[in-house]
Amino acid sequence: MTTQTLKAREDLEGTIKGSILVPDDPAYEETRQVWNAMIDRRPAVIVQCAQAEDVPPVIRFARQNGLELSIRGAGHNIAGNALCDNGVTIDFSRMRKVRVDGAKRRAYVEPGATLADLDEATQAHGLATAVGINSTTGIAGLTLGGGFGWLTRKYGMTIDNLVSVDMVTAEGRKIRANENENKDLFWAIRGGGGNFGVVTQFEFKLVPLGPEIVAGLIVFPFSQAKQVLTKYREFVTSAPEELNVWVVLRKAPPLPFLPENVHGNEVVVLPIFYCGATAEAEKLIAPLRVFGEVLGEHIDVQPYVGWQKAFDASLTPGARNYWKSHNFTELADGALNSMIDFAGKLPSPHCEILIGLVAGAANRIAPNAMAYPHRDAKFVLNVHGRWDEAKEDQKCIGWAREFFNASAPYASAGAYVNFMTADEGDRVAAAYGSNYERLAAIKRRYDPENVFHLNQNIKP
Ligand SMILES: Cc1cc2nc3c(=O)[nH]c(=O)nc-3n(C[C@H](O)[C@H](O)[C@H](O)COP(=O)(O)OP(=O)(O)OC[C@H]3O[C@@H](n4cnc5c(N)ncnc54)[C@H](O)[C@@H]3O)c2cc1C
């Protein structure tokens, strides 16, 4: 045992309710895994908090011992900042409770909760809030960076539905931030990531939804990609906000509704989500079928919580991942051409190019209303490099970077912190645009020593 681990046991045991894991503990190895298998960090101490009150002593312990501090929600962030080397990791995997007040339409969420935890609890009341599309993602990281998914067109980003947070500051002080209390801090954490303190509870407003919605996939041949994408671009300009259609360019997985001879070939997939009146769905979705020759489709009335898990099987933890991303206000021909060009040379069967449609409610918020500024973004592109073996690193990372550069001339300025890798620190200022200076000033007030620097860091 190192001095730090011995000291951690001495200082924290008996003070906190949670558990302390050090490298000798049997559970340590499993606990230090995160979603992206490229991350291999070894904290000296992992504290699995059991209650909000456990957080201040852990922050104090790290600071008094000059140790780095990282915060882990559900460990999905590809940059891997949930973990640190030789420091202290606050791990919230034991704090996943979600309490719903159906009458007030509010959810109170612990910081280790996943989207599945939130969706299941809220849907039990016929309610929901706008989150991401992969149910194992953490609410904490997703919300603090912005958060978008199927409901974003209609109800905005996750931060647009955040009502308040309970936090612990770098000094170990417990505070609440909302539109009335600590307003600056509330402004900053809505997009500013984990830069300002440790959130111990999120409060969201909820809207009635489902429990059934209409959703599914339509698949077209890659040879018709240009025509499908051009029609898609036109279609989404007038589609109602209850309807969301994304685009995925990838090799076809062996989906049961696709003919076997299509499996493994490049295809264009349109994932479709509709949360309006079920009777209206067919009329709205029908025009998508004439974008090209349909290779297969599976669209159904289904539980919202089921659709929220629809992509989990292709986004399992344990693969190597390298992502790049751009925002777009429009999909210019050049952008479509570069997508088609790079989808034609996917370096692994798991790599994909994804266009998420976010146009709608999120665009009706002023860019300076909160830290996240990209209110002009209509589409978010995710260049999703994903593969299994370390020997493929160079090839797959190279593909993602090359495509990122080729599509850059058509993108709007800015970046989404939640999709940034560890090597994109130079994009942090662009991620916050004209809000950066105000964020830095708030950082100086709440965390002048940059205790919370394992994130897309805003320098005090
Ligand atoms: C497969 C997959 C699908 C995704 N889909 C979407 C999507 O549809 N929409 C979308 O918007 N994003 C999506 N993302 C991105 C996702 O929002 C980010 O990866 C997010 O950071 C994950 O949150 P987490 O809590 O799981 O991550 P973690 O890695 O645990 O945390 C990320 C960072 O958040 C901060 N943090 C975490 N918890 C706290 C806390 N309690 N207090 C203060 N700071 C904290 C820390 O700085 C930490 O390093 C996806 C990511 C993956 C891997």
The DSSP-derived string for 327-363 is EESS--HHHHHHHHHHHTT-SSTT-EEEEEE--SGGG
User: Could you tell me if 359 and 379 are in contact, meaning their C-beta atoms sit under 8 angstroms apart?
Assistant: yes
Q: State which ligand 1 atom lies nearest to the alpha carbon of 133.
A: 8
Name the residue at shortest CA distance from atom 13 of ligand 1.
132
**4 CA to middle of ligand 1, Å?**
28
Cα(234) to centroid of ligand 1, in Å?
Answer: 32
20 φ/ψ angles, rounded to the nearest 5 degrees: -110, 125
Are the CB atoms for 205 and 127 separated by under 8 Å? no
Quote the ligand 1 centre to 132 CA distance (angstroms): 10
Give the pLDDT score at 10. 77
Q: Is the CB of 315 under 6 A from ligand 1?
A: yes
Cβ of residue 71 lying under 6 Å from some atom of ligand 1: yes
Contact partners, residue 450, CB within 8 Å, separation at least 6: 443, 457, 459, 460
Give me the residues paired with residue 326 across strands: 381
Q: Which of 12, 79, 13, 49 is nearest to 200 (CA)?
A: 49
Q: With 80 as the cut, is the pLDDT of residue 9 above it? A: no
Mutate to test the pocket of ligand 1, among 35, 39, 58, 72 (most ligand atoms within 8 A of CB): 72
Span 338-383, pLDDT tens digits: 999 999 999 999 999 999 999 999 999 999 999 999 999 999 999 9
What's the 82 CA to ligand 1 centre distance in angstroms?
9
Q: Which helix (H) or strand (E) holds 383?
A: strand 379-387
| CA of 58 relative to ligand 1 center, distance in Å | 21
Q: What is the pLDDT of residues 126-142, one digit of tens each?
A: 999 999 999 999 999 99
Q: What percent of the chain clears pLDDT 70, i.e. is strictly above it?
A: 99
CA angle 455, 377, 137 (to 5 degrees): 45
Question: Does residue 390 carry a pLDDT above 60?
Answer: yes
Q: Is the CB of 112 under 6 A from ligand 1?
A: no
Give per-residue pLDDT as tens, 394-425.
999 999 999 999 999 999 988 999 999 988 88
Question: Which residue, by CA, sits nearest to atom 21 of ligand 1?
Answer: 141
Give the pLDDT confidence of 293-322 residue by residue, as tens digits: 999 999 999 999 999 999 999 999 999 999
Is the CB of 451 within 6 Å of ligand 1? no
Query: Tokens in use for 342?
Result: 């790079």
State the distance from the centre of ligand 1 to the C-alpha of 146, rounded, in angstroms. Answer: 10
Ligand 1 centroid to residue 371 C-alpha, Å: 16
Ligand 1, closest atom to CA 81?
49
Rg of the chain (C-alpha set): 22
Tell me what pLDDT residue 1 has. Answer: 54
The pLDDT value given to residue 4: 65
| Confidence band for 337, pLDDT divided at 50, 70 and 90 | very high
| Substitution site in 142, 152, 155, 308 for ligand 1 pocket (most atoms within 8 Å of beta carbon) | 142
Task: Single out the residue of 395, 406, 399 nearest to residue 352, CA to CA.
Answer: 399
Ligand 1 pocket residue status of 134, Cβ below 6 Å: yes
For the stretch 86-125, pLDDT in tens is 999 999 999 999 999 999 999 999 999 999 999 999 999 9
Residue 186, pLDDT score: 98
Is the CB of 385 inside a 6 Å radius of any atom of ligand 1?
Answer: no
Please give the pLDDT value at position 414: 86
State yes or no: pLDDT of 266 exceeds 60: yes
- Nearest-CA residue for atom 44 of ligand 1: 194
Q: Would the CB of 142 count as within 6 Å of ligand 1? A: yes
Residue ranges of E strands in 88-246: 88-91, 98-101, 106-109, 127-128, 162-168, 174-178, 198-205, 207-208, 212-221, 243-245
Please report the atom of ligand 1 found closest to the CA of residue 82: 49
pLDDT of residue 425: 81
Residue with tokens 């991401």: 132
Task: Write down the pLDDT at residue 274.
Answer: 98
From 32, 34, 76, the mutation candidate for ligand 1 (largest count of ligand atoms within 8 A of CB) is 76
Is the model's pLDDT at 248 over the cut of 60? yes
128 lines ligand 1 (CB under 6 A): no
* pLDDT tens figures, 19-59: 999 999 999 999 999 999 999 999 999 999 999 999 999 99
**pLDDT, mean over the chain:** 96
Can you give the pLDDT at residue 406? Answer: 97
What is the rounded distance in angstroms from the CA atom of residue 347 to the CA atom of residue 352? 10
What span, in angstroms and rounded, lies between the C-alpha atoms of 312 and 306? 10
Q: Which of 31, 119, 144 to mutate to test the pocket of ligand 1 (most atoms within 8 A of CB)?
A: 144
Note the pLDDT of residue 126. Answer: 98
Residue 447 alpha carbon to ligand 1 centre in Å? 21
CA pair distance 125, 44, nearest whole angstrom: 42
Nearest ligand 1 atom to alpha carbon 148: 11
- Choosing from 35, 77, 195, 428 the residue with most ligand 1 atoms within 8 A of its CB, the one to mutate for a pocket test is 77
Ligand 1 atom closest to the Cα of residue 149 is 8
User: Could you give the angle at the alpha carbon of 60 between the alpha carbons of 54 and 65, nearest 5°?
Assistant: 130
Distance 78 CA to ligand 1 centre (A): 8
Task: Give CA–CA dist 411/381, Å, rounded.
Answer: 9
